[in-house]
Structure 1
Amino acid sequence: MFKIDEKALDIILDKMIDTVSNSKREIVEISEQSRQEFEILTAELLKTRLEVTETINKGEQLEAHVKLARKRLAEVSRNFTKYTEDEVRSAYEKAHALQMELAYIRQKEKMLIERRNDLELRLKRLEQTVKRAENLVSQISVILNYLSSDLQQVNEVLNDAREKQEFGLRIIEAQEDERKRLSREIHDGPAQMLANVMMRSELIERVSRERGMDEALKEIKDLRIMVRSALYEVRKIIYDLRPMALDDLGLIPTLKRYLSTTEEYNKIPIKFVNLGEEMRLPPRFEVALFRLVQEAVQNALKHADANEIQVKIELRKKSGKLIIKDNGKGFDPTNKKDGSFGIMGMKERIELLKGEITFDSGLGKGTMITIDVPLIVEDD
């Protein structure tokens, strides 16, 4: 028998909490710096806008003076015998001086407008950075609460030091994997799309000036599609973190919403059938069952090339059953390479719930996943 080494696990948990706390502080500092820069740039933008207005007004006034000076110069040139040499020279110098001043004002106006546009773009980016930082701080706060409370009770659940160490290491690895996955998804998805949206918006401005509003409207339609894709990716990432509707509405309504959104975006029919009762389950069951459906559907979309998916669920007082079926290219369940980490994760969730999962599939035959889970339904 191994002696329970509570100190070793406490050290691991303390290090995890310190790491997450430091990350939170760093993000808060980034957010505060961005907010301060936002305020400075906002003041500078207001000042620049006033200067642009003043410069435009001054340019219009100078343009009127230039017209008068040119008119005077033309009159003097036509009737130079009526005017003295000094008067002719004075008319020419005045017209030239006003023309040079007008050119300077127009150049200044152009530079100020470019500065104003640059400040507006930087402010939009800073605003996005502040919002992302605030969201990350909120998420990290949830993680800290979890680490500070639930994980501190692990000592009462684990039976020996080996299980504790493995559990702590698996949590650390899962956190790092989740960070990498989220970083990759944000970089390849919303971040890339938003960068394209920014460039496309600048293109629309040029198209409207050079080719007219009809061409610009076509570009706007394409831009709307890109924004819609970015919105879907953001919602998907939120769902991956934890769908808020799961806590508020329960498993069945959340599945309906998730499958409906997925169907709408991917343009693939997803049929959802609830054969049992629409009741609430303990949170760990709702989260696990939702993740199982999510993983199965994403596998069907990404790897199976399916064009039709069916999801059936039946919840009873003491048991729950899930069937996820697709008409994709299928795989060989006996081949571990085909199983990948997604299927391994599904099996691990089922083991934690003390349930059973079976994969009925073959190359070119589609896939049917059957899940049976014993439930402990809490009485109202």
Structure 2
Amino acid sequence: MSIEELIQKLEGTLTTYREDQERSRRELSEVEVLVRQSAIEVEKLAQRELSVSNRVRDLEVNLERYSKDEIKNFYTTSQEVQMRLQIMRGQLEQIQSRRDMLRTQQGQIANVVGLLSDLLEAMQTGGFSTEAQNQNGLDTEAMIANIIQSQESERLRLSLQMHDGPAQSMSNLVLRAEICYRLIDHDLEQARSELNALKNAINTTLQDTRKLIFDLRPMTLDDLGLVPTVRRYTTQFGEKNKLEVNLMIQNLEQRLPNHYEVMIFRFIQEALNNVARHANANQVRVLLDGSGHTLQIIIEDDGQGFHVSDTLENARARRCMGIANMRQQAEVLLRGEFGLESAINRGTRVAANIPLPMT
């Protein structure tokens, strides 16, 4: 491929990503409006639920003042309001999850647009020597392909998570709510039992959705920064996967630019997910050391290990382990170095050296 053809391909790719960026911006704006509207509705329902709960407490204290129909109506109204409030809160959580995912997507697209713009400008202004253009053209084309493939893989992973998680759970909740509705007029005690089970199911779905939101885009990453987010994530990761995670963080007192913190967190997340899926390990050590002007990241486990050369030659294995993603995050997006060491029955060590921005 000639340099002129590569420039044309870069221009087309850049245009596509800019269109995606604009669509994502519009969708994010619409979702922000939905979040505000849903939050207002949840607040109204919460106030109504409080009012109804007060009336029910008054009823329980002064039971003799009310007829059986009034008691039945009070409890039915209370259950309906509580159920609507739980459903609305679940919907709000889903919309907030969508908003957070769009924010993350916008950041990723912005990084890609910036990178492609810099490459295009350098190529158009002769920033590459004629002798190096052919090799650079091949490297650039491969890098663009990796970026696109990584983005599509992430979209597929997210869609599967949403389908197998919250979407399935919400469908189940709708069916159980329908059962409760039909039981109210026929068997009040059974309806109450079903409503209690429904409430527990809603709480479980809510917790699962919150975990998914944290995996997609931890809110603490924006609010508190990289260090508290990594501490929380490694703690939850260890509890979930029954692993001993030893975390050591040194010389990282200052906040880093947002895109640095996002990419570093994703790198650690990908490496730990590999440990959970493939390593069969008992212990994991995570080190972040910001000494000097470089951040050193090391994730090593005591698992079963693998042949690095065989894995790097196997494209399917590389995709399964996210090696291309981690290499891209470290070397392309953060201008650092990536390293991978492993041997059968001797564990695995993933490392990155990231040059820190000057403050």
Same fold, judged at TM 0.5 (above):
yes
User: Is 1:373 aligned with 2:348?
Assistant: no
**Bigger radius of gyration, 1 or 2?**
1
What residue number does 2:337 align with? 355
What residue number does 1:152 align with? 117
Write out aligned runs for 1:279-294 (5 A).
279-281=254-256, 285-294=260-269
Separation in 2 of the partners of 1:291 and 1:217? 38
What TM-score does the superposition give when structure 2 sets the normalisation length? Answer: 0.62
Separation in 1 of the partners of 2:297 and 2:303? 19
| Cα deviation, residue 317, structure 1 | 0.7
Q: Which of the residues 251, 263, 269 maps onto 2:226?
A: 251
Separation in 1 of the partners of 2:352 and 2:27? 44
Closer/same/farther in 2, CA of residues 26 and 232 from structure 1, 3 Å limit:
closer
Q: Which of the residues 175, 185, 191 maps onto 2:161?
A: 185
What residue number does 1:237 align with? 216
What residue number does 1:110 align with? none
| Cα deviation, residue 297, structure 1 | 1.0
Gapped regions of structure 1 (runs ≥ 5): 37-112
Separation in 1 of the partners of 2:101 and 2:281? 34
Q: Which of the residues 278, 283, 286 maps onto 2:253?
A: 278
| Cα deviation, residue 173, structure 1 | 3.1
Q: Deviations over 1:204-254 (max 9, x none)?
A: 775993448678656754653443223212321224xxxx54455443222
Matched residue type, 1:260: T
Gapped regions of structure 2 (runs ≥ 5): 38-76
Alignment RMSD, CA only? 4.9
Equivalent pairs, count = 301
What residue number does 2:44 align with? none
Q: Deviations over 1:161-211 (max 9, x none)?
A: 555544444433333232222212211222223333444555677599344
Matched residue type, 1:346: M
CA contact (8 A) 1:246 1:286 kept: yes
Matched residue type, 1:184: L
Closer/same/farther in 2, CA of residues 144 and 303 from structure 1, 3 Å limit:
closer
What residue number does 1:16 align with? 17
What residue number does 2:281 align with? 306
- The 3-state SS of whatever aligns with 1:303 is helix
Separation in 2 of the partners of 1:133 and 1:372? 31
- The 3-state SS of whatever aligns with 1:316 is coil
Separation in 1 of the partners of 2:140 and 2:350? 32
- The 3-state SS of whatever aligns with 2:307 is coil
CA contact (8 A) 1:319 1:374 kept: yes
Closer/same/farther in 2, CA of residues 13 and 370 from structure 1, 3 Å limit:
closer
Write out aligned runs for 1:210-221 (5 A).
210-211=189-190, 217=196, 220-221=199-200
Closer/same/farther in 2, CA of residues 204 and 253 from structure 1, 3 Å limit:
same
Separation in 2 of the partners of 1:29 and 1:285? 27
What TM-score does the superposition give when structure 1 sets the normalisation length? Answer: 0.59
CA contact (8 A) 1:350 1:357 kept: no
